[in-house]
Amino acid sequence: MFFIAAVHGIFGILQFHTLGNVNPIVSLFTSNTRFGSLADFPFQALGFFALVIFFLMAITSHDFWLHNLSPRVWKTLHMFVYIAYFLIVMHVLLGVIQYETNPVFIIILLIGTTTLIILHLIAGTKEVKRDNIKYDLVKDGFTKVCDVNDIEEDRAKMFCIDKERIAVYKTQGKLFAVNNVCKHQNGPLGEGKVLDGCITCPWHGYQYLPQNGQSPPPFKEKVSTYDIRIEGTDVWLNPKPYPEGTERPGAVIRVNN
């Protein structure tokens, strides 16, 4: 993405900012300073800042940086992609408004932009709602979270209890509970499925054994595990985490469940 954007940016600078006696980068920011005008806003500057973000993400995209910066710092840096995304949308939108005389193109762009923003808001709202679900039944440290039949085979349901994000997987006649956050790039493990006996992150395929949260050798990533039990068809989950990689027996699913 950075290389594609860089080609576009270099072409734009060569075409619009290299024919004068001012440094092209200086010209990019000084040739148009009408920031208070929507019709004449200097949209090229927005594309430049988006390109800078893409550059930072590109040079840190290797797992070397993930391990040395730590997943939390690395993920925070790469969350700037949403800022770049917004800058690109405005870069294109303002450019079309200023250079296109046919309103059809502007309408199409507005519809597409609005649709994407709405989809992002819907996804974010669903995540917030799931995190804020209140569970009323608590017993001996365990919280009733769902019915055993609500969980598909080799898939999971995700819960947030006491700020613990937990994925409960059904596989091999048992339920297992692991932390929902993948160690690679904080991906949602609960949105993945069990492949070859391992919980597989849907983002990049990192795998963990359901009974202990450990990645199969030679990999060394580990996630926390939790106690889980079944009473009748009710699933009860203890949100207190065990140390990462701790073996837990899981909860046996009885035939009559």
Q: Please, which pLDDT band fits residue 7 given cuts at 50, 70 and 90?
A: very high
| pTM of structure | 0.69
- What pLDDT shows up at residue 134? 83
Percent of the chain at pLDDT > 70 equals 99
The pLDDT of residue 82 is above 80 = yes
Average pLDDT, whole number, for the chain?
Answer: 90
Q: What are phi and psi of 192, to 5 degrees?
A: -90, -165
- What pLDDT shows up at residue 257? 53
Domain residue spans in the chain? 2-99, 138-252
The pLDDT of residue 252 is above 80 = yes
Question: Which of these ranges, 16-20, 99-103, 145-149, 237-241, has the smallest mean pLDDT?
Answer: 99-103
Average pLDDT of the residues in 185-192: 90
142 bridge partner residues? 139
Name which residue leads in pLDDT, 20 or 148.
Answer: 148
CATH superfamily label, 138-252: Rieske [2Fe-2S] iron-sulphur domain (2.102.10.10)
